């Protein structure tokens, strides 16, 4: 089993190094590797025994520094939390390779090599059981995406790539410090009987150690904030989300599918894997704030999505809203909400990944992403309309589809946290949050259906002017925004065009003469409905959406043991916190060596 | 001059002999490429000699502990890379003296590492700086090169004067030039005459100031950007590696080992300078257009991180085992050197004799025109930025790990945590300009295809550096272990006298430190009483070396 | 073979299979004949539901035969085949000592179906009406490019409606609640080329969604209060939570959900717009089946409502207001389908009022009215459809006139529908309206009857208003001199057989059904055996003495007669009388108010839609200009710091030397202090 | 105070003075040769204090260092003059401020501030060598052999 897991990691890495030759070789090679990894992932999922023991684990000493006790190990394994995200990554990888099949023309081998490297990074992040290995993969995913966005992106690609990389790096370096502080705390607080003096980096051992010897609350809060910085940027929580729309809109289709489908989950995964189990008191005390921020993300993301004129930006902001739901679930930290949160992460990956693929297909055909340019596509493209309808309905949590299977337990869990017996010390806030979180559901339905209606329903636009040079063509005069030459300052953009059509004033309104709605060419047949490639790119997503929608039990049962262990400390912290909310509460009574109060 | 001393000096002697032959031979034939091969052979021979040295030899003023051995290997490796980097002459007349001076600087660095005596240390330092003045002049024959040589010369001389003044007070305060005696005098046990404590502090400041010039720390960094911009890539690589390594060796020898418990807060000065250097280097680098000037500021910033490691070494000197600054310092220095030499080698390779690649915009679109070179440069840049899969990440891990593991109960710990946070944010800012170079290479449309006729040697060293960086990144174990021995071996005073409360308010009984591994590396405990014989020997020894070097220069 | 369990599963599965078959084969294979699988499937479901009713009737007879056990036990059978989600003890035990239902905290949702009299009645009604509408739409939708898509959606709708009615836990109820909403969205926006249809579909879905939010909150509160979502578990343990504020909150939230779906007062704005969809859709979904889901839900949760009397007041109040509102608006509308839509809203209001009484009599009256209303409202809608079909899509009653002779079957069936809805004696409408009036009168006698006294009077006023807004279109469209709109072309003739046959059947139904159920007392008796109605039975409602029954019946009939006469007098004559009445009404501004539909749409636009859109734009602007630029400025801070430090590097050796010396002095200062 | 320490203090003071003078000279004088000479003075100051310390500790270490300082100073002198020669050839001026072209991109170039002209009358009649080629008037015979000093 562990050999299989290692092949999933190293096969794409080998592909990244060896894929070469011309465009055809490269893309078929990439597809073969992606399918192989998917196959292995399916086998691993099928064989997954459930329970809390790590599955298919490998444990190699990486830094056996005999002199000093630093013990960094290359240890990878699957467990409940990372199982489905691992499978989702493998699936979305196939979709990503298929989506960019025709679109990517120049430098294709490099493109596919970067995709393979990205796959290794993404898979690695979810299976890493060692803090340093996790951080290595956590950063490693940045490099391929930086190049993908930068070279094959849209018009502002350079600025988007730089901003994406630096914003995420700035956050993640603080996480790096937080992780180190955790490791050092455990090293310098050895259990009395364990005299090994070995500075362990393995997540399981650290969680266990912190479980029975928790840090003192103030230290926990500081470290929680450090971890929060990195993970909040990655899973775009409200104030730190501004890189997301830019990176998504400018990324190539495959890039935005993977960015939305998988990479946004790394931040939430980080919260679930590190922040909650290792720093329970901090999670308990900061719970209201965290929930408020997530809720803000939900409602703010939905509101801003409502005002967007570009489909991809709309879906990007919808991702902010959906991820707000996931973090809402994770931070509410009870059995239902965490299960709902993790399942919602998978659903969001499927639905939003699919939607970005659809936008990519629309862009390939019409070279524009403005909603105003589309209309009445359903008649000429029924298949596209059907797939988009299923994806849209899943993302607005229609029962029977995956969105509902994730969102309902999540909202029940959040409601239960506020209204049920075990109300945390800030009951009133939690109750308000529970009720307001439903507003996100209504707003979500509104902007998605409004987008769907404006693009697919309504009168079909037929006209003669076939706008050849789409405003989306690359290389059209955006050198001024090119960040890479320092002389180029961001010109102070005057707010051009009414806000309704172009909410981001820094992108000057496309030239009104050419930018009119897209008119189908007089003749028939130049633009066809979904090709077989595109259909088999979207079908797995739709099948998974229906499967999760109709049978969520299958997925939740495998996750539950691991998730229980993750949230057990937090629930305990909530109980102890609720009875003595004052700062100088008695330290955790049952921990063997009571913590001397900080001098 | 006992046989043991001589045997200890064999590698240096080989190098200097080769340098002399090159100087002499140069008068007759100016074929730089031939002399480079000879220099390479000399380096190889020196390496063999160093390898065959039996480690436990007890030299009077020549210590032979793990730190010396580590730095000597570092010097030889850097020397080899620089020689191959400079194998193709960018000037018309071939100037074989260039290669000779290069060998001398390498020999100087090896001597600095081995020196156990102030006098020999001073001579070795001068043996590095004087050939460097010559190298700077020989690099290019235009106004900028001369201006950079002049600036480096004048400021270098001033700095060495300050350093010397520091040495004089050090000698004055302790009464002996041998480090062991200095250490014995200043370890707080023997009572100094009343006024001498002031002299000791004065000595520490002046020595630290003098060395900060060599290392290009903030108050003394002004020369670096102008000198780097003015010279060739090979010289810039040399400047950013050899004097810096020498500076850190001397700091390690004197500050950490020789003046142990003298000042509880001596680390405060070093920490302040470190944070200033880090921030200054990173912030200024954002504006640069010229590649060498950018890498100058980057090297200043990297010095900031290494100084942070030194400060950690000073503050948590007795932290058992895992994290202490000296290990981080050596590991970080090695990875930084590899990445910087790699970057300069690539630029050297891409340029041509008369059309050298200077500005960052020359690299535009390199990803398409010269993919291999772009890949090497990108690897070096990402390593300098500290992005995980490469060596730079491990360096940063050790440095910031060390900073965090300083005991947080006392005030020291909070300062170091704050410094770690500032350092980490600096790393993020640094990533901006490293990334800018990568962005220019891969995202811009190529203006012109670089001629890439900088010589196979340059390309070989670039590829070697890239492989080194990736190799260390994948498996950093061996280098860390080597770095760790340096720390273990550093003769230090038993700090039992002073109670150090454990970091993070940790338990009183820290885990038992690992027993020092017995690799046949006996800790050299050398006790020598100053006697006539000892003095005569050091005189003779140093005398021969200085005369030969002067003789050569006057050719 | 036909035991209750297989029937119960068969009824929803057949339409689902047919819908999937049509969707898969529709475009290529079936094209013209794609109605076949769906119609047959619905017919079979109808037969199955009838069999189900008979099976249950047998069981009830056995139960009644047993001595003494009377109606206590009730008859029900739960089929649970497939577990959707099972999270054991997801919620910790209640802290404040509230009673704990067995299996507390097990979030165990199974796809479980329940067969009891209430479900059987609803199933029968839904499948019967769907069958007739499906047959009708064969003719109506012929030649439409999306023919197969229509029948696929109808099949899907019947599946969801049957599952909704037979769901056995709140989550499943909510799941199919939303699926039914989805089907209405798809069917309203069936002709998606017309922007009005697409917008109406979206509006319907969103208003339903707002209602669903209330419903979901109710379910969450049920979960946190009772620890389980299964009907059985909840209704058994309601007893222990009699006075708890949570039960009242639950009922109010469920009411909000019901209002959303059944287009009651605050959330009724979507139903008139839903008329954009094809008329069979309006007949099926927006008259008979989907809109009654709210009524069914309240009937299903009677134990909850019984435990929260003031929630019942709220139901009755909302019902009363809506009934009056619908009636007043319907009078002045000019579009026939809009009139019927508002009349549906009004009649749903009556059902809510009936359920609000909270007595067994009231609830059975409400359900009885639901059944009869389904028949004659479907009849009226299909009649309007056949008029539209004949008149080339024109439905404005002012442009049609005197079609009596051209569309005889439609006319007579429409007349039967009108008479039935108005409540002329032998027809179905009379019996159900009379039952409601009786239950109101009876309830007003009991504790807290003041509100119900007023409601009794408003219902009587409503009876009069019904005559006006039903006979007005009848007289204007079918009587008077003949006005044929140009769109009808020359071929204004009766609709084909496949459309008129269902009309006749429905007409027969709306005539006979009321009488049949009334005389055999079958309906009330059958319904009273629903287990969840047991709590009502115990509350001991005395038998109604026949004198009251006759008095209420006569008052109702007299008022109806007066109404019909007034309507005939006004509308059969020339238009002058109507104009004078309109002007008189307008003195108080009532006419413009009613014609403008009480301006709910513009109010909602101003209060909800426009503010949200502007907040959205503000948020978008804020996101770009504030947060994004803040982030960019933070990114630029290091660069500014660099700009500040650059002048220090001015290239002068002596300046550097001076700086070095200064550095040494500073270091000395620090060290020597 | 012990005479030895007094002697030490005196020497150290003189050494420090020399070092200070050299430092100030280096920073203020713009002539390259003078700058190098001032560094030499600093080195002499260091040598002096080293010698003083050597005497105080009765140890040869200090003197060995002095010897090496002298040797190194010699080397540096060699290089300095070679360098200054080439610099002079390049810019025809010994002024260090002429070499300011390697600096930050947007810095204004260094412009010399003209020193105010010294007032004529205060200028001292320094003895001045007559221009070459004119026989200097020799002193009278009697001054050459003055009987007493």
> HEC profile for C529-597?
CCHHHHHHHHCCCCCCCHHHHHHHHHHHHHHHHHHHHHHHHHHHCCCHHHHHHHHHHHHCCHHHHHHCH
Among residues A484, A314, A246, the alpha carbon closest in space to that of C624 is found at A246
The conformation of residue C628, written as its DSSP 8-state character, comes to I
Least confident among A303-307, B137-141, D17-21? B137-141
Among residues C369, C344, C354, the alpha carbon closest in space to that of C428 is found at C369
**pLDDT score for C543:** 61
Cα separation, B80 vs C108, whole angstroms: 72
In this structure, what token pair is assigned to residue A239?
A: 């104030």
Cα separation, C289 vs C355, whole angstroms: 17
In this structure, the answer to whether residues A47 and A132 fall within a common structural domain is yes
Residue of C nearest to D101 (CA): C651
In this structure, what token pair is assigned to residue A410?
A: 């999540």
Q: Decide: B99 and B465 in contact? Cβ < 8 Å.
A: no
Cα separation, A81 vs A326, whole angstroms: 13
Report the gap between the CA of C213 and the closest CA in chain A (Å): 7
Chains with 3 or more CB pairs closer than 8 angstroms to C?
Answer: A, B, D
Per residue in D82-96, pLDDT tens?
Answer: 999 999 988 888 888
Is A598 among the domain residues?
A: no
In this structure, what token pair is assigned to residue C566?
A: 């007034």
DSSP letters along B305-342, please? Answer: HHHHHHHHHHHTTT--SS--HHHHHHHHHHHHHHHHHH
Report the gap between the CA of B506 and the closest CA in chain D (Å): 46
**pLDDT score for B107:** 94
Half-sphere exposure of C489 (CA within 13 A, CB side): 7
Q: Name which of D53, D60, D99 is nearest B150 (Cβ-Cβ).
A: D99
Among residues A333, A339, A245, A243, the alpha carbon closest in space to that of A290 is found at A333
Q: What is the mean pLDDT of each run of 10 residues along chain C (673 residues)?
A: 81 91 79 83 92 86 68 64 79 65 77 86 90 89 84 92 90 91 89 86 88 91 86 83 82 92 88 88 85 90 87 90 90 88 91 87 87 89 88 83 84 88 83 86 77 86 87 85 78 79 87 77 75 66 70 86 85 76 76 82 88 90 87 89 88 90 90 74
If residue C115 lies in a helix (H) or strand (E), which one and from where to where? strand C107-115
User: pTM for this structure?
Assistant: 0.85
In this structure, the answer to whether residues A309 and A255 fall within a common structural domain is no
Q: Tokens 């009363």 belong to which residue? A: C320
**pLDDT score for B148:** 92
In this structure, the answer to whether residues A174 and A239 fall within a common structural domain is yes
In this structure, the answer to whether residues A372 and A274 fall within a common structural domain is no
Q: Tokens 């090496």 belong to which residue? A: D68
Residue of C nearest to A337 (CA): C90
**pLDDT score for A356:** 94
Is B267 among the domain residues?
A: no
In this structure, what token pair is assigned to residue C441?
A: 């009168």
In this structure, the answer to whether residues A183 and A324 fall within a common structural domain is no
In this structure, the answer to whether residues A384 and A252 fall within a common structural domain is no
**pLDDT score for D143:** 57
Q: Name which of D12, D65, D74 is nearest B177 (Cβ-Cβ).
A: D65
pLDDT-derived band at A465, boundaries 50, 70, 90: very low
Cα separation, B177 vs B118, whole angstroms: 5
Q: How far apart are the first and last CA of chain C?
A: 103
Is D64 among the domain residues?
A: yes
Cα separation, A432 vs A422, whole angstroms: 16
- Look at residues A217, A248, A282 and tell me which one is the last residue of a structural domain: A282
In this structure, the answer to whether residues A272 and A299 fall within a common structural domain is no
Report the gap between the CA of A484 and the closest CA in chain B (Å): 6
Per residue in B408-445, pLDDT tens?
Answer: 566 677 888 899 999 999 999 999 999 999 999 998 88
Residue B123: its chain D contacts at CB < 8 A?
68, 72
Among residues A159, A217, A179, A187, the alpha carbon closest in space to that of A68 is found at A187
pLDDT-derived band at B379, boundaries 50, 70, 90: very high
Per residue in B218-250, pLDDT tens?
Answer: 889 999 999 999 998 999 999 999 999 999 999
Chains with 3 or more CB pairs closer than 8 angstroms to D?
Answer: B, C
User: Hey, which bits of C116-230 come out as E strands?
Assistant: none
Residue of A nearest to C227 (CA): A420
pLDDT-derived band at A432, boundaries 50, 70, 90: confident
3-state secondary structure string across B16-31:
HHHHHHHHHHHHHCCC
Cα separation, B428 vs B278, whole angstroms: 12
In this structure, the answer to whether residues A243 and A176 fall within a common structural domain is yes
Chains with 3 or more CB pairs closer than 8 angstroms to B?
Answer: A, C, D
Cα separation, C55 vs C117, whole angstroms: 10
Within 10 A of A429 (CB to CB), how many other CB atoms are there? Answer: 16
Is A420 among the domain residues?
A: yes
pLDDT-derived band at D135, boundaries 50, 70, 90: low
Is A258 among the domain residues?
A: yes
Is D96 among the domain residues?
A: yes
**pLDDT score for B258:** 59
**pLDDT score for C501:** 87
Q: Name which of C224, C616, C635 is nearest A303 (Cβ-Cβ).
A: C616
| Whether A483 and B432 lie within 8 Å, measured CB to CB | no
| Cα-trace Rg, chain D | 23
Residue A421: its chain C contacts at CB < 8 A?
92-96
**pLDDT score for D141:** 62
If residue C112 lies in a helix (H) or strand (E), which one and from where to where? strand C107-115
**pLDDT score for D11:** 92
Is A1 among the domain residues?
A: yes
Q: Domain range for residue A298?
A: 286-496+531-582
Among residues A511, A507, A509, the alpha carbon closest in space to that of A481 is found at A507
Cα separation, B458 vs B350, whole angstroms: 9
Which candidate in A13, A17, A68, A132 is best for mutational testing of the B interface (most B CBs within 10 A)? Answer: A68
pLDDT at A581 exceeding the cut of 70 = no
CB contacts under 8 A, A 159-178 vs C, are 163, 166-167
In this structure, the answer to whether residues A543 and A436 fall within a common structural domain is yes
pLDDT at A520 exceeding the cut of 90 = no
pLDDT at A29 exceeding the cut of 80 = yes
Residue B287: its chain D contacts at CB < 8 A?
104-105
Residue C619: its chain A contacts at CB < 8 A?
300, 303-304, 307
Within 10 A of C496 (CB to CB), how many other CB atoms are there? Answer: 14
| Whether B157 and D39 lie within 8 Å, measured CB to CB | yes
Is D122 among the domain residues?
A: no
Report the gap between the CA of D135 and the closest CA in chain B (Å): 40
Is B369 among the domain residues?
A: yes
Q: Decide: B26 and B82 in contact? Cβ < 8 Å.
A: no
Among residues B54, B55, B3, B43, the alpha carbon closest in space to that of B19 is found at B43
Per residue in B119-130, pLDDT tens?
Answer: 999 999 999 999
CB contacts under 8 A, D 109-148 vs B, are none
Per residue in D54-72, pLDDT tens?
Answer: 988 888 888 999 999 999 9
The conformation of residue C284, written as its DSSP 8-state character, comes to I
DSSP letters along B376-387, please? Answer: HHHHHHHHHHT-
Nearest 5°: the CA angle B432, B436, B440 is 170
Among residues A142, A263, A297, the alpha carbon closest in space to that of C627 is found at A297
pLDDT at D44 exceeding the cut of 90 = yes
Q: Domain range for residue D40?
A: 3-100
Is B116 among the domain residues?
A: no
**pLDDT score for B246:** 94
Among residues B187, B107, B503, B490, the alpha carbon closest in space to that of B329 is found at B490
Among residues B529, B289, B292, B274, the alpha carbon closest in space to that of B399 is found at B274
In this structure, the answer to whether residues A380 and A274 fall within a common structural domain is no
3-state secondary structure string across A109-150:
HHHHHHHHHHHHHHHHHHHECEHHHHHHHHHHCHHHHHHHHH
pLDDT at B549 exceeding the cut of 60 = no
pLDDT at B262 exceeding the cut of 70 = no
Q: Name which of D23, D99, D100 is nearest C650 (Cβ-Cβ).
A: D100
Helix intervals (H) in A367-426:
377-380, 382-395, 402-419
pLDDT at B73 exceeding the cut of 80 = yes
Residue of A nearest to B433 (CA): A484
Share the mean pLDDT of chain B.
80
Question: Residue C109 forms beta bridges with which residues?
Answer: C85
If residue B431 lies in a helix (H) or strand (E), which one and from where to where? helix B411-443
Number of domains chain D is built from: 1
| Whether B432 and C638 lie within 8 Å, measured CB to CB | yes
In this structure, what token pair is assigned to residue C208?
A: 């339903």
**pLDDT score for B41:** 93
Per residue in A387-416, pLDDT tens?
Answer: 999 999 999 988 889 999 999 999 998 888
Cα separation, C293 vs C635, whole angstroms: 56
Is B256 among the domain residues?
A: no
**pLDDT score for B497:** 31
Is A267 among the domain residues?
A: yes
In this structure, what token pair is assigned to residue A28?
A: 């078929």
In this structure, the answer to whether residues A199 and A178 fall within a common structural domain is yes
Is A502 among the domain residues?
A: no
Q: Domain range for residue B343?
A: 283-492+528-555
Residue B542: its chain D contacts at CB < 8 A?
64, 68
**pLDDT score for B530:** 40
Question: Residue A75 forms beta bridges with which residues?
Answer: A59
Number of domains chain A is built from: 2
Cα separation, B352 vs B341, whole angstroms: 18
Q: Decide: B185 and B258 in contact? Cβ < 8 Å.
A: no
| Whether C199 and A379 lie within 8 Å, measured CB to CB | no
Q: Of residues A522 and C76, which shows the higher confidence score?
A: C76
**pLDDT score for B259:** 60
Is B358 among the domain residues?
A: yes
Report the gap between the CA of D115 and the closest CA in chain B (Å): 25
pLDDT at A599 exceeding the cut of 70 = no
Residue of C nearest to A300 (CA): C619
Is B302 among the domain residues?
A: yes
Most confident of A369-378, B293-302, C629-638: B293-302
Q: By percentage, how much of chain B surpasses pLDDT 70?
A: 78
Can you tell me whether residue B356 is helix, strand or coil?
A: coil
Cα separation, C152 vs A448, whole angstroms: 24
Q: Decide: A260 and A241 in contact? Cβ < 8 Å.
A: no
**pLDDT score for C86:** 82
Is A477 among the domain residues?
A: yes
């Amino acid at each position: 089993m562990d050999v299989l897991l290692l092949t999933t990691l190293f096969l794409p890495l080998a592909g990244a190094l060896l894929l070469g030759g011309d465009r055809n070789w490269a893309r078929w090679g990439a597809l073969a590797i992606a399918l192989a990894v998917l196959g292995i992932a399916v086998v691993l999922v099928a064989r997954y025994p459930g329970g809390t023991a790590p599955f298919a684990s490998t444990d190699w000493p990486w830094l056996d520094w005999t002199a000093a006790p630093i013990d960094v190990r290359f240890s990878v394994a699957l467990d409940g939390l990372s199982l489905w995200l691992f499978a989702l990554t493998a699936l979305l990888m196939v979709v990503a390779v298929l989506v960019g099949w025709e679109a990517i023309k120049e430098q294709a081998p490099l493109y596919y090599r970067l995709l393979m490297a990205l796959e290794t990074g993404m898979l690695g992040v979810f299976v890493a059981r060692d803090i340093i290995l996790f951080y290595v993969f956590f950063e490693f995913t940045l490099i391929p995406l930086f190049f993908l966005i930068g070279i094959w992106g849209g018009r502002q690609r350079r600025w988007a790539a730089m901003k994406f990389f630096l914003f995420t790096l700035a956050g993640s370096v603080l996480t790096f410090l937080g992780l180190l502080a955790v490791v050092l705390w455990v090293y310098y607080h050895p259990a009395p009987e364990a005299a090994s003096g070995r500075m362990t980096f393995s997540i399981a051992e650290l969680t266990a150690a912190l479980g029975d010897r928790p840090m003192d609350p103030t230290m926990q809060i500081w470290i929680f904030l450090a971890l929060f910085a990195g993970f909040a940027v990655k899973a775009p929580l409200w104030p730190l989300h501004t890189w997301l729309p830019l990176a998504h809109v400018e990324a190539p289709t495959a890039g935005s599918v993977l960015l939305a489908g998988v990479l946004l989950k790394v931040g939430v995964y980080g919260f679930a894997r590190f922040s909650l189990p290792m720093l329970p008191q901090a999670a308990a005390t900061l719970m209201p704030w965290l929930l408020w921020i997530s809720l803000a993300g939900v409602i703010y993301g939905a509101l801003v999505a409502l005002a967007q004129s570009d489909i991809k930006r709309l879906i990007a902001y919808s991702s902010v809203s959906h991820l707000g739901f996931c973090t809402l679930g994770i931070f509410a930290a009870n059995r239902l909400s965490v299960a709902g949160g993790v399942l919602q992460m998978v659903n969001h990956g499927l639905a939003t990944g699919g939607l970005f693929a659809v936008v990519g297909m629309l862009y390939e055909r019409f070279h524009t992403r403005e909603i105003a340019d589309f209309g009445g596509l359903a008649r000429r493209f029924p298949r596209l309309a059907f797939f988009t309808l299923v994806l849209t309905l899943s993302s607005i949590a229609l029962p029977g589809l995956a969105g509902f299977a994730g969102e309902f337990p999540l909202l029940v869990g959040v409601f239960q946290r506020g209204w049920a017996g075990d109300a945390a010390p800030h009951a009133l806030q939690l109750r308000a949050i529970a009720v307001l979180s439903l507003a996100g559901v209504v707003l979500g339905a509104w902007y998605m259906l409004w987008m769907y209606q404006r693009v697919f329903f309504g009168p079909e636009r037929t006209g003669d002017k076939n706008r050849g040079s789409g405003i989306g063509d690359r290389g059209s005069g955006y050198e001024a925004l090119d960040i890479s030459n320092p002389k180029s300052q961001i010109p102070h953009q005057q707010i051009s065009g009414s806000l309704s059509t172009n909410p981001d004033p820094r992108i000057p309104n496309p030239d009104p003469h050419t930018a009119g709605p897209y008119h189908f060419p007089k003749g028939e047949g130049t633009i066809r409905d979904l090709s077989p490639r595109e259909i088999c790119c979207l079908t797995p997503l739709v099948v998974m959406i229906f499967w999760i929608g109709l049978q969520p039990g299958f997925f939740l049962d495998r996750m539950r043991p691991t998730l229980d262990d993750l949230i057990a400390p937090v629930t305990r912290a909530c109980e102890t916190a609720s009875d003595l909310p004052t700062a100088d509460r008695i330290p955790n009574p049952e921990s063997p060596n009571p913590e001397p109060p900080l001098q | 001059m006992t046989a043991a001393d001589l045997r200890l000096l064999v590698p240096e002697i080989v190098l200097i002999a080769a340098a002399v032959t090159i100087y002499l031979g140069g008068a007759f034939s100016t074929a730089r490429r031939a002399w480079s091969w000879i220099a390479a052979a000399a380096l190889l021979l020196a390496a063999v000699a160093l390898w065959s040295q039996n480690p436990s030899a007890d030299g009077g003023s020549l210590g032979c502990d793990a730190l010396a051995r580590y730095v000597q290997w570092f010097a030889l490796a850097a020397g080899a890379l620089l020689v191959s980097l400079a194998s193709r002459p960018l000037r018309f007349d071939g100037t074989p003296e260039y290669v000779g001076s290069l060998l001398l600087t390498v020999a100087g660095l090896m001597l600095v590492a081995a020196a156990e005596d102030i006098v020999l240390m001073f001579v070795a330092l001068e043996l590095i700086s004087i050939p460097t003045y010559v190298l700077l002049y020989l690099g290019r024959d235009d106004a900028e090169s001369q201006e950079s040589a002049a600036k480096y010369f004048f400021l270098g001389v001033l700095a060495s004067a300050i350093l010397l003044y520091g040495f004089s007070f050090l000698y004055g305060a302790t009464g002996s030039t041998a480090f062991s005696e200095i250490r014995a005098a200043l370890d707080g046990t023997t009572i100094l005459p009343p006024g001498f404590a002031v002299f000791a502090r004065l000595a520490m400041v002046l020595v630290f100031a003098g060395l900060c010039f060599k290392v290009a720390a903030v108050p003394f960094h002004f020369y670096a950007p102008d000198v780097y911009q003015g010279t060739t890539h090979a010289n810039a690589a040399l400047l950013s590696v050899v004097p810096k390594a020498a500076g850190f060796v001397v700091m390690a020898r004197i500050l950490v080992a020789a003046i142990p418990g003298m000042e509880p807060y001596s680390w405060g000065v070093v920490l302040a300078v470190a944070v200033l250097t880090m921030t200054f280097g990173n912030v200024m680098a954002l504006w640069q257009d010229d590649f060498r000037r950018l890498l100058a500021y980057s090297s200043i910033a990297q010095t900031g991180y290494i100084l942070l490691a030194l400060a950690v070494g000073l503050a948590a000197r007795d932290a058992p085992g895992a994290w202490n600054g000296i290990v981080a310092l050596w590991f970080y220095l090695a990875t930084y050197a590899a990445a910087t030499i790699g970057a300069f080698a690539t630029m050297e390779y891409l340029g041509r004799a008369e059309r050298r690649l200077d500005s960052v915009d020359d690299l535009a679109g390199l990803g398409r025109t010269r993919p291999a070179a772009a890949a090497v440069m990108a690897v070096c840049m990402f390593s300098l930025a500290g992005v995980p899969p490469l060596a730079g990440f491990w360096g940063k891990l050790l440095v910031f790990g060390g900073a965090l593991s300083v005991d947080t109960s006392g005030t020291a710990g909070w300062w170091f945590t704050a410094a770690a946070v500032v350092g980490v944010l600096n790393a993020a800012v640094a990533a901006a300009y490293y990334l800018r170079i990568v962005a220019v290479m891969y995202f811009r449309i190529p203006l012109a295809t670089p001629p890439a006729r900088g010589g196979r040697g340059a390309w070989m060293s670039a590829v070697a550096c890239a492989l080194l960086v990736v190799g260390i990144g994948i498996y950093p174990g061996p280098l860390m272990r080597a770095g760790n021995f340096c720390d273990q071996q550093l003769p230090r005073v038993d700090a039992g006298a002073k109670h150090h409360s454990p970091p993070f308010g940790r338990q009183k009984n820290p885990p038992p430190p690992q027993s020092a591994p017995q690799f046949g590396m006996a800790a050299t405990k050398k006790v020598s009483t100053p006697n006539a014989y000892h003095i005569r020997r050091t005189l003779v020894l140093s005398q021969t070396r200085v005369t030969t070097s002067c003789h050569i220069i006057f050719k | 073979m036909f035991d209750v369990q297989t029937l119960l599963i068969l009824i929803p599965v057949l339409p689902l299979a047919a819908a999937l078959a049509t969707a898969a084969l529709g475009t290529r294979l079936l094209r013209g004949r794609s109605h076949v699988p769906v119609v047959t499937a619905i017919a079979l479901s109808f037969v199955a539901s009838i069999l189900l009713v008979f099976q249950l009737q047998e069981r009830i007879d056995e139960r009644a035969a047993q001595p003494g056990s009377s109606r206590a036990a009730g008859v029900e059978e739960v089929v649970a085949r497939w577990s959707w989600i099972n999270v054991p003890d997801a919620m910790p035990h209640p802290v404040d000592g509230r009673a704990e239902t067995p299996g507390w905290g097990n979030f165990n949702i199974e796809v479980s179906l329940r067969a009891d009299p209430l479900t059987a009645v609803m199933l029968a009604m839904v499948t019967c009406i769907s069958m007739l509408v499906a047959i009708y739409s064969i003719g109506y939708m012929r030649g439409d490019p999306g023919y197969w898509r229509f029948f696929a959606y109808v099949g899907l709708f019947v599946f969801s409606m049957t599952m909704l009615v037979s769901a056995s836990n709140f989550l499943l109820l909510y799941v199919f609640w939303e699926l039914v909403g989805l089907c209405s969205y798809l069917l309203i926006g069936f002709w998606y080329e017309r922007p009005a249809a697409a917008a109406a579909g979206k509006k319907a879905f969103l208003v339903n969604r707002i209602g669903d939010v209330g419903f979901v909150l109710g379910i969450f509160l049920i979960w946190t209060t009772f620890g389980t979502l299964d009907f059985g578990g909840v209704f058994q343990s309601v007893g222990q939570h009699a006075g708890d504020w949570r039960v009242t909150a639950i009922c109010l939230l469920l009411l909000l959900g019901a209002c959303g779906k059944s287009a009651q007062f605050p959330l009724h704005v979507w139903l008139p717009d839903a008329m954009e969809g094809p008329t069979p859709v309006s007949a099926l979904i927006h008259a008979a089946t989907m809109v009654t889901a709210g009524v069914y839900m309240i009937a299903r949760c009677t134990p909850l409502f019984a435990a929260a009397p003031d929630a019942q007041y709220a139901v009755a109040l909302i019902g009363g207001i809506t009934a009056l509102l619908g009636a007043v608006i319907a009078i002045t509308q000019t579009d026939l389908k809009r009139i019927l839509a508002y009349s549906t809203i009004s009649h749903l209001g009556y059902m809510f009022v009936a359920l609000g009484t909270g007595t067994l009599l009231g609830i059975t009256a409400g359900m009885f009215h639901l059944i009869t209303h389904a028949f004659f409202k479907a009849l009226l809608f299909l009649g309007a459809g056949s008029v539209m079909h004949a008149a080339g899509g024109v439905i404005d009653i002012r442009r049609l006139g005197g079609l009596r002779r051209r569309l005889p079957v439609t006319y007579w069936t429409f007349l039967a529908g009108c008479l039935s809805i108005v409540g002329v004696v032998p027809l179905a409408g009379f019996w159900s309206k009379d039952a409601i009036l009786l239950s109101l009168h009876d309830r007003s006698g009991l504790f807290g009857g003041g509100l119900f006294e007023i409601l009794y009077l408003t219902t009587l006023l409503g009876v009069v208003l019904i005559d006006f807004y039903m006979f007005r279109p009848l007289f204007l469209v079918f009587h008077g001199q003949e006005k044929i709109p140009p769109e009808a072309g020359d071929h204004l003739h009766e609709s084909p057989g496949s459309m008129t046959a269902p009309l006749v059947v429905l007409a027969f139904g709306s005539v006979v059904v009321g009488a049949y159920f009334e005389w055999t007392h079958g309906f009330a008796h059958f319904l009273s055996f629903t287990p969840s109605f047991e709590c009502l039975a115990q509350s001991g409602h005395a038998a109604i003495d026949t004198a009251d029954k006759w008095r209420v019946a006569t008052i109702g009939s007299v008022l109806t007669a007066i109404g019909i006469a007034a309507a005939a007098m006004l509308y059969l004559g020339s238009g002058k009388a109507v104009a004078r009445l309109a002007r008189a009404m307008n003195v108080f501004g009532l006419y413009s108010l009613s014609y403008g539909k009480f301006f709910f749409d513009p109010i909602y636009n101003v209060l909800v839609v426009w503010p949200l859109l502007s907040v959205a734009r503000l948020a978008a602007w804020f996101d770009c200009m504030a947060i994004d630029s803040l982030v960019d400025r933070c990114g630029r801070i290091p660069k500014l710091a660099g700009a500040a430090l650059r002048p220090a590097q001015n290239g002068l050796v002596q300046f550097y030397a001076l700086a070095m010396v200064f550095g040494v002095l500073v270091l000395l200062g620090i060290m020597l202090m | 105070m012990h005479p030895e320490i007094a002697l030490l203090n005196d020497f150290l003071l003189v050494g420090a003075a020399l070092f200070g003078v050299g430092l100030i000279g280096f920073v203020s004088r713009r002539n390259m040769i003078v700058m190098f000479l001032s560094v030499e003075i600093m080195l002499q100051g260091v040598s002096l204090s080293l010698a003083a310390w050597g005497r105080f500790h009765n140890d040869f270490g200090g003197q060995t260092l002095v010897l090496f300082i002298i040797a190194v100073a010699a080397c540096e002198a060699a290089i300095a003059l070679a360098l200054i020669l080439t610099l002079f050839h390049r810019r025809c001026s010994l002024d260090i401020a002429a070499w300011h072209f390697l600096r930050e991109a947007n810095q204004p170039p260094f412009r010399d501030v003209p020193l105010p002209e010294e007032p004529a009358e205060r200028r001292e009649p320094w003895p001045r060598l007559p221009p070459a080629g004119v026989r200097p008037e020799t002193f009278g015979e009697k001054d050459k052999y003055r009987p007493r000093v």
